[in-house]
Amino acid sequence: MFQDEKSQPAFAQTMSRLVVVGNGMAPGRMLEHLLQEAPGRYQITIFNAEPRVNYDRIMLSPVLSGEKDYEQIVIHGDGWYIKNDITLYKGHKIVAIDRAAKTVTSDHGVTEPYDKLVIATGSTPIILPVPGHDLAGVLTFRDLDDVNAMLLAAQSRARAIVIGGGLLGLEAAAGLKSHGMDVTVLHLMPTLMERQLDPAAGYLLQQAVEARGIKIFTQANTKAIHGTGKVEALELADGTIIPATLVVMAAGIRPNAALAKRAGLDVNRGILVDAHMQTSDPDIFALGECAEVGGHTYGLVAPLYEMARVLAARLAGREAPGFVHNDTPTKLKVTGIDLFSVGDFADGEDRQEIVLRHASAGIYKRLVIKENRIIGTVLFGETGDGAWFADLKKKSVDISEMRETLIFGQAYQGGAPLDPTAAVAALPDDAEICGCNGVCKSQITGAIVEKSLTSLDDVRAHTKASASCGSCTGLVEQLLKLSLGESYNPAAVQPMCGCTDLGHDDVRRLIRAKGLKTIPALMQELEWKTSCGCAKCRPALNYYLVCEWPGEYADDYQSRFINERAHANIQKDGTYSVVPRMWGGVTSAAELRAIADVVDKFAIPTVKVTGGQRIDMLGVKKEDLPAVWADLGKAGFVSGHAYAKGIRTVKTCVGSEWCRFGTQDSTGLGIRIEKFMWGSWTPAKVKMAVSGCPRNCAESTCKDVGVICVDSGYEIHFAGAAGLDIKGTEVLGLVRTEGEALEVIVALVQMYREQARYLERIYKWTKRVGIAEIRRQALEDTGKRKAYFDRFVFSQQFAQVDPWSERVSRKHKHEFKPMAVLDFVAAE
């Protein structure tokens, strides 16, 4: 990765130089469009004041609440910049623009020339200039550093005050509350989110927030923050003192136009630009929260993405329509609170309103009408028709003929109620479905047909619709059903079992968000319908808790299947099959004698060589299992986990050590992988193989993970199957060294462990997530890859790897795990 380094492609001399100041969502989307429309037109350099890559800032609230982590909100990982020959300076803040010399200079002293310059410096949070505003413990909520600081402060589980009852303030409050803090929100106005909601909806919102245990003070004016060196309390103008250890200021933002102003560009509230994002200098453009166009500045993502589209077309040399102001819908990213608003809903003599209230259900709907056209919408508690109302407003549709039924939504227009699929079918092709990413109906339906998409995750991967806040998920699912008919099987939203209405993905998300660390706590908090779960959900819950909280959650063996509880495979006659581990399929005379002795001693009727290059002893009585394992343990054997939802075996050929065709030491690599990953629980069984040459004697191309050794390195394969489904592997990519191969394989498996649903094989998970996304995270993005690897190593410290004896388990865990880790580090 080009981290604080300058790298320039060889063909740069033939290209115009494009410099981008800022690496947020708006410039990231602009570059996506530009690279698609005019590949090779520019040598691109980015200066990012933050020491990291581009990430989804609107997902900071779920990161704070624990529903997502940083890796899940990265938009462009390191590999994307490398792939597109983009130079990225991380942690470099531009301090000067020399318009005469056409250069920019960073605070690290790097000077870069430009032909075209894009300023995307975003916004800065408003800090109330009250006494004590600079005390330790006073934070803002604008970037990942702020979130990390809040997460650190939340570990105290003490008292937090959030100043500001707008979108960011309420999301910050909900996130801190989810970590056990005592949270108070102070808001200057009489009702919450007064810019986006009318008083009635603001009242309902306050009730919903307070029901989560968050205290709300409206008409609260902060006088001072008190403390000696750090925050201890906050004082209101009326003299009220509120104890606190953390104060989060979320009182608004202002465009960050200081750099442009110092450069002599025209600046008002923001950097003044025309409809094509051009500033007063024809070679300098601005977009995002720092830009002011047509008298407006913006803080929501939809108009920023429209700016990105317009500017990309301009930089590509293409004539395209300019930016036009449109009201942007507002949605709150707090789990369980459904809120939607758009437009103007102030009172006026020339306006009428249509209101629907359902007190017991907590539903409030209000439409503001002027000259038979919707000019404003507020929805609380039931927001499914938000996109339709917004489209009617955008197109200024005359609603005279549907006025009597309008408030009931799209499904009730034209006579008998429509089902949801028919309602979404009636939306025009250009109706916006995903406001976060600016995706309209025709983009989604077109992608479903052209790319043969069959699931919600497919649509997210290819269009980004529903991939951010998720509030449009229902509409996207209806479009899938509309496009695919009866063939659409929404497995992603099917309940885990009859004990709950939640699907696997929601359960995993809520385990993290709510900090659930035991099965009883999980069932209570998630309102399980049965007292103890069932044979279908308990093993899944046990796995999810093991995966999420290594070292904290105690693996519940009673929640595992019988084979895992007995540490052997039950056979149809009630006896068991025992498979000791043979690393990479390699054994010795001593090991074979030990197996033979056990077979004789316990009169085991059948001994068979498995397809995974191990020996299977079939017909062992259940009562003999402890003694069988004890004897095998004395000979140094550990379990082959032939019964496990875990790492099974790594099949190998003899490789370069013996075979005249071998290109690499496939046996050695196979043993190294198996010892490193031994004992890892996974959502479903994982089989691996390493073949020493393209002749593929170890059958690597039908395994969950496979390696084909070639002269230039190691070709990594994944997502194969050779059971009920027959499927060849996909190629992840080629790496040069054995150490790198190990890191990539471990990262791939850890990504699978964290994202797959219980009992979902790697090939099914791959189909759901997408090959390109897996390749990006596990191979191309080296930072993300290393993070997965590190989490795997951390979890292995707590792996309960062996079954029959604590003494043997401890012995082998200490013998193999640290050695494998040290071996990897030394090899690098």
3-class SS at 755?
helix
- With 0-12 / 13-18 / 19 or more C-beta atoms within 10 angstroms meaning exposed / middle / buried, residue 284 is buried
469 is in an annotated binding site: no
Distance of CA 177 to the CA centre of its chain: 21
* Sign (positive or negative) of CA dihedral 633, 635, 639, 642: negative
**E-state strands within 538-600:** 569-570, 576-578
Are 585 and 690 contacting, i.e. CB atoms less than 8 angstroms apart?
no
- Residue 26's closest CA among 293, 331, 265? 293
Which residue stretches of 504-588 are H helix? 504-514, 519-525, 537-548, 562-566
Q: Ramachandran region of residue 146, left (φ > 0), alpha (ψ -120 to 50) or beta?
A: alpha
Residue whose entry in the numeric block shows the structure tokens 């029959």 = 804
SS3 163: strand
Q: Is 367 left (phi over 0), alpha (psi -120 to 50) or beta?
A: beta
Best CA proximity match to 262, nearest among 112, 126, 121: 121
Say if residues 157 and 179 touch (Cβ distance below 8 Å): yes
For residue 198, give the nearest of 385, 330, 1, 388 by alpha carbon: 330
Cα 796–chain centre separation: 23
Phi and psi torsions of 780, nearest 5° = -75, -40
Q: How far apart are CA 586 and CA 602, in angstroms?
A: 24
d(CA 290, CA 254): 8
**Spatial distance between the Cα atoms of 519 and 534, rounded to a whole number of angstroms:** 12
* Number of Cβ within a 10 Å radius of residue 574: 8
Structure-token pair, residue 68: 């997502």
Phi, psi of 816 (to 5 degrees): -100, -45
Residues 6+ apart with CB under 8 A from 91: 4, 48, 49, 50, 51, 108
653 marked as binding residue: yes
Q: SS3 for 130?
A: coil
What's the CA dihedral at 195, 200, 202, 205 to 10 degrees?
-140
Long-range contacts of 654-658 (CB under 8 A, 24+ apart): 654/692, 655/690, 655/692, 655/709, 656/692, 656/709
CA 658 to chain centre: 45
Cα–Cα distance measured from residue 618 to residue 604, given in angstroms and rounded to the nearest whole number? 7
Report residue 588 as tokens. Answer: 């010795």
Q: Is 497 annotated to bind ligand?
A: no
User: 664 CB contacts (<8 Å, ≥6 apart)?
Assistant: 655, 656, 692, 709, 710, 714, 738
Helix-helix angle 625-634:589-601, to 10 degrees: 160
Q: Residue 231 and residue 247: Cα distance in Å, rounded?
A: 7
Q: What would the DSSP string read from start to end of 663-695?
A: -S-HHHHHHHHHHHHTT-B-SS-EEEEEESSTT
- Report which DSSP code applies to 9: -
537 marked among binding-site residues: no
**Which neighbouring-strand residues pair with 87?**
45
Length of the chain: 828
Binding residues for [4Fe-4S] cluster: 653, 659, 693, 697
Residues of the binding site: 653, 659, 693, 697
Annotated binding site for siroheme: 697
